[in-house]
Amino acid sequence: MSSTAGQVIKCRAAVAWEAGKPLVIEEVEVAPPQAHEVRLKILFTALCHTDVYFWEAKGQTPLFPRIFGHEAGGIVESVGEGVTELQPGDHVLPVFTGECGECRHCKSEESNMCDLLRINTDRGHMINDGKTRFSKNGQPIYHFVGTSTFSEYTVVHVGCVAKINPAAPLDKVCILSCGICTGLGATLNVAKPKIGSSVAIFGLGAVGLSAAEGARIAGAARIIGVDLNPSRFEEAKKFGVNEFVNPKDHDKPVQEVIAEMTDGGVDRSVECTGSIQAMISAFECVHDGWGVAVLVGVPNKDDAFKTHPMNFLNERTLKGTFYGNYKPRTDLPSVVEKYMNKELELEKFITHSVPFSEINKAFDYMLKGQSIRCIIRMEE
């Protein structure tokens, strides 16, 4: 066990005290892990749009003060009671959703939506005892999606921690904790395009580019990027996108444009925007008989999906996915190996890198649309 096992650790954390206000680097106290928990030393973390969304607190219940962050790589510092699958020194990726291994979802080959550890954005404490592991001067600081990686040390449920190859560079593979796997798995695990097929990707942000990367790995011949922002098109070429459509350039629905381009529709489509109109277009642009559309983006709570039932009767398939259908503990190590074997290219997703003391720069890059992924180096 580490020399700090069982002790409260004082460390730096980037605390969000109020919605939309710059994070403040504070010295916080991190309690030891309780039963079925592990305490991690975070070495690298990244900023995902989900962090920004909840930091802005637009449309959700605000919960502050809070430590955000959920894409990260680190090393196990100590383990709590009952933890046998991890030990101090293991290299790991914490994940915002978990795998308890016991529920019906975990035992099913068809699901990764764990009953116990499924993402919960409203919960700001640990499920073991309903308390936080972070505090400052006795004041509790809330957790975020069970990970809170904007801290030099964090406590995570063991079911939300994937043990990975210690040779893998944590400053690269840390981005697999969320967005990259979400898009990659949507294509490889759910859409499953065949070699030589056509794939339309709606939305060319980080998740959409990951979906395109999945299509490239699968051997798709035509990868059509659909986005309202033409400035994204050049960057998308690095991820295998070889044709582009801007819906604003056409006076007809984009699904009709794509159908004309592809002799009746694409073989597969992946929607990564959260726009209900993009979801409808993604479904209606796939070919009848065999076309499969996969929805990844999260819609507004009042949205409703509307399409004619004949689109289903004509043998189009509509699917949804959560975290690319990857089970975190079971599947994430093999995704890391794809990178190690040079099948998956991660470097091209990383556009910036900043020291922890300048974490607010990462938010600036994201808010200005300049960043796919910004790596935050905890050790400066």
- 46 forms beta bridges with 71, 375
DSSP 65-94: SB----EEEEEEEEE-TT--S--TT-EEEE
Q: What is the rounded CA–CA span in Å between residue 13 and residue 11?
A: 7
Q: What is the rounded CA–CA span in Å between residue 240 and residue 60?
A: 36
Q: What is the rounded CA–CA span in Å between residue 352 and residue 370?
A: 9
Q: Find the DSSP H helices in 57-164.
A: 104-107
- Determine how many CB atoms are found less than 10 A away from the CB of residue 361: 16
Residues with a catalytic annotation lie at: 48-50, 70-71, 100, 103, 106, 114, 118, 178, 373
With H, G, I as helix, E, B as strand and everything else as coil, classify residue 130. coil
DSSP one-letter code for 49: H
**300 CB contacts (<8 Å, ≥6 apart)?**
59, 274, 276
Contact 253, 281 (CB under 8 A): yes
Pair of tokens at residue 189: 């695990």
Angle of helix 276-284 relative to helix 254-261, nearest 10 degrees, comes to 30
Contact 252, 259 (CB under 8 A): no
- Determine how many CB atoms are found less than 10 A away from the CB of residue 273: 24
Q: What is the rounded CA–CA span in Å between residue 9 and residue 119?
A: 26
